[in-house]
Amino acid sequence: MRILLIVLSAHIMFFTSIQLRAHHSFVAEFDPTQPIQLRGILTEVELINPHSWFHIDVTGPDGLVVSWAVEAGTPNTLFRKGITRDTLPVGVEILVDGYRAKDGTNTASGRDITFPDGREVYLEGSAPPAQDATSIP
């Protein structure tokens, strides 16, 4: 019985450490020298750990719609700031300030969101303080 407990404990510690190593820092995936501003229609909200995700469709000047994934803080942090599925309904237009992904995908680390009523909320993600951003309608 004791050996079984030791083996089980070793497995738990091993698999937990793998998950902890998978978490990334801001500079591992995002470029602090490439701030971005995205205005688009919210299409999906994922309030999951370790980072929540907002998906928005941004219409460019040429009329093409580009889908973006925006990383934010943990669900608990966002809940404490008043952000829930009810406060961010799919279909609402939002303005997101953040930073582009290093890999060139349509992914960003969100710094803050501006709601249609003008209210701004800091997303408590891994993004650094504000810089001048490149605006994408």
CA distance 77 to 34: 25
The pLDDT assigned to 4 comes to: 57
* Phi, psi dihedral angles at 68 (to 5 degrees): -120, 145
**pLDDT score of 18:** 42
Amino acid at 9: S
Is residue 47 situated within a structural domain? yes
Asked, for residue 19, whether it belongs to a domain, the answer is no
116 vs 24, which has greater pLDDT? 116
9 located within any domain? no
Q: What is the mean pLDDT of residues 70-81?
A: 90
Q: pLDDT, tens digit, for every residue of 16-69?
A: 544 444 455 677 789 989 999 999 999 999 999 888 999 999 999 999 999 999
Q: Is 122 exposed, middle or buried (0-12, 13-18, 19+ CB in 10 A)?
A: middle
Q: How confident is the model over 93-101, as a mean pLDDT?
A: 95
Domain of 126?
27-136
Q: Is residue 42 part of a domain?
A: yes
Of 6-10, 117-121, 130-134, the poorest mean pLDDT is in 130-134
Spatial contact of 49 and 74, defined as CB atoms under 8 Å apart = yes
Residue 59 lies in a domain: yes
The closest of 114, 113, 109 to 127, measured between CA atoms, is 109
Q: Please tell me the least confidently modeled range out of 70-74, 79-83, 89-93, 106-110.
A: 79-83
Q: What is the rounded radius of gyration, in angstroms, for the C-alpha atoms of the chain?
A: 18
In this structure, what CATH number is given to the domain that contains residue 106?
2.40.50.140
Please count the structural domains in the chain. 1
- Residue 126 inside a domain? The answer is yes
Please check whether residue 14 lies inside any domain of the structure. Answer: no
Q: What percent of the chain has pLDDT over 90?
A: 46
Asked if residue 43 is part of any domain, the answer here is yes
